[in-house]
A and B are shown apart, each in its own frame.
Chain A
Amino acid sequence: MPLFYFDFTANDDVSIDTIGQVLENETVAHKEAIKALAEIAAEEIPRDGKLVLTVTVTDADRETLFRAQMTFEPAL
């Protein structure tokens, strides 16, 4: 089964995945990335202010396969 890396940025804070995950295929990797993005957003958003949260999925050679971004913009 292939290895995927999931890198996240929350505003300017970058966290690079150094372990990676072995998953069935790219479709599963997409699904997992989106689930994680939503979970992390649920923890980060109530903290404070604007949030731009990005997940980047790469293959074992670090080629980008997929990127998703979520923006939280407080109205006040």
Chain B
Amino acid sequence: METLRQLLVGREISELSRVTQLLDVPEQHAAAVGDVLPRAVTHAPQAQLSEAFSPVVERSVQRSIQKDPATLTDILYPLFLPAIRKSIGEKIDQTFQSLNESLRYIFTWRGLKWRLEAWRTGTSFAEVVLKHSLIYRVEHVFLIHRNSGLLIAHATAENATSEDPQLISSMLSAIQDFAKDSFNEKEQGALDTIRFGELRLWSEVGPFATLVAVIRGNPPEELHEIVRDALLRIHSESSGALEKFDGDSTQLAGVRATLETCVELKQEDSTQAFPWLAVAAVTLVLIAAGSWLFLSWQSGQRWQDYVSRLEAQPGIIVAQQSARGGHFYISGLRDPLAADPATLLSGTEVDPARVHSQWQFYQSLDPKFVLKRLTASLAPPKSVRLSIVEDRIVAEGEAPDTWIDRARAAARQLPAGGPVFDISRVRDVSPEARAAENWQTYVSRLEAQPGIIVAQQTARGGHFYISGLRDPLAADPQALLSGTGVDPVRVHAQWQPYQSLDPTFVLKRLTASLTPPKTVRLSIVGDRIVAEGEAPDTWIDRARAAARELSAGGPAFDISKVRDVSPEARAAEHWQTYVSRLEAQPGIIVAQQTAKGGHFYISGLRDPQAADPQALLSGTGVDPARVHAQWQFYQSLDPKFVLKRLTASLTPPKTARLLIAKDRIVVVGEAPAAWINRARIASQQLAADGLTLEISDLRELTPKELVHLREGIQAVDILFDSGEAVPGPEQLPVLDRLANQLKELATDARKAGVTARFMLTGHSDTTGRETTNLSISVARAETVRALLKKRGVDPELLLVRGAGTFEPAETEKAQTGSSVNRRVSVSVNFD
């Protein structure tokens, strides 16, 4: 059994006993665990292991320090030293800065004020000084990846500019490397301050990133702490992302906010209240005092200017001058001809009221003044000029001997010591000499005249003789005399006429003899006379003849440039004659007319009653085939045409005549009533056109038998009984007779060319009511009309009206009424 056991599990048993022994013997067990411990630690979960280890480690460190601090200090020394060194360095910097500032402000007014503020607020003086004196602004903050120098984030203050921040950050880290390499600096520190004028670059180096602040101005040392805090915050917030940064900054967008807080840091200069009022007051006082000083200096200066100006004046001698209490006193001598000192004052800005001057007159012997005096006393003629030559006064020019004598006397009277008056250069111009001169002027004027040739001229005994040739067209030598001062009475001239061949004269002669039309222009071209333009053949013939007759040696007359316009001109003339003939015609109005290419065009208005324009052509010489006329008919209001039209339309009877009296048309004579009526209608129509047709002088023409018949008819009355509208039987014969009369008259009238119309008027007596009377009167007239119609009278000719009691045949007296008034009367009208 034991053997079987040995055979089956013998190896396991010996192995088990070895392990048991290993576990039992602590030395062996520790050695075994020690073998696997480093591997076990490596494989254990990190968190749990740290959890398990940290109390042990903490306690061991604690124990180690209790036992011997030196060991750990030695270990940590390389780590602490740079940090401590840096911290102390900054503290010292801070202290120095505050001490500096304190010393700078300790004795100033500002310093006292800040001391008061420190005492009031309970803060240190240095702090107050720093608060007020440090003026800075963080303009940029760069967060730079430490390993690659790539820019992680960047923040900029308002208005601050810089070049590409990516390039700057790389360059900054390059410079860091450069500094470190160049000076063999092995420690972990970094270039922490770069200063360039107003700008400072402060770097704070973290494990993964460097923060660089660009500061303008004078930042306090505390700013280091702020920047450092920002860097710490960034590291603690995004250490993972910073560690893994590979150039992609999107993961680190959040850090920008932190950078922005740094950029906002700044300390602006506090504005001080400036004592404006005091400064203004002092300035005002200074200005006032300054102006007063300046003005008084200026006025003195101006006075001196004035005095020196006076002294420079010829004829003025300043004897004394002084200025006292703002007033100026001056005295001296003055030539009456010298400039007026008062006038000189104007323009100097010296107040004339403050100037008190005393001038004594004297005669200056200065040549200028002598000259002035001589000029005033001698009044030299215009031909004499007085001037100063060296210190003599010289008269030059021409003068009559009288003036020369006066000048000589004046020269003798000049005082000794003064300038000499020299009149030797004045030429004596006696009247004779003048006359001779004038004559010469006249002769040369004549010689200059074209068309005048002076052959001989002499002056003898005050008389002048001249002879020569003269073209009749040349200027009149006599007329040329005027204005020369030569006495015409003393001139004896003999002029032979001749024809000058001067082109000007030839031109004049040709113009006078040929009288060229306006269309021709004569001019001188070179030495030829050229005619240009248009003229009829008759004129050209005459001109040609004149050209041939010109004398040889004179200018030629060229008429080749004149165009012969006779046929056209004649046709145009004829046309104009015709047009004016048309225009003179009543009832024809020419609106437009032109001649174009040998054809004539005319248009206008024409009364049908006016003369025929075509007929008027005959005898004018205008070719009718070349005339193109367009006439619009119109009714002329010319009384003559109105008369013609009226005559045509009214066809007045032979007994009537239409006349024109002034602007009116008058009908005189006799005419039947019907025609008079038509004339009246025509008169009314004409009135609308502003014309008058007078028919009041026209007498009505009625044949005698008609008048007789009418009188017979108008004597008849049909009588009625009271209240009756129908006549009694005794009236029937009257009615029969009346009917016959009416018929006869109507027939006769028609024959005479008029229409007779009969007005039947009913009447009543005055008994009864008026309305009844009126209606009964109408009824009576109607009844009579019906009865007459029955008897064959044309009812068209019968008119009816009721007159009531208004047209009684006799005045009624009886109450019974008048039988005569109860009637129907008849009146006859012709039309």
Answer yes or no: do A and B interact: no
B interface vs A, CB < 8 Å?
none
On A, residues with C-beta under 8 Å from B are: none
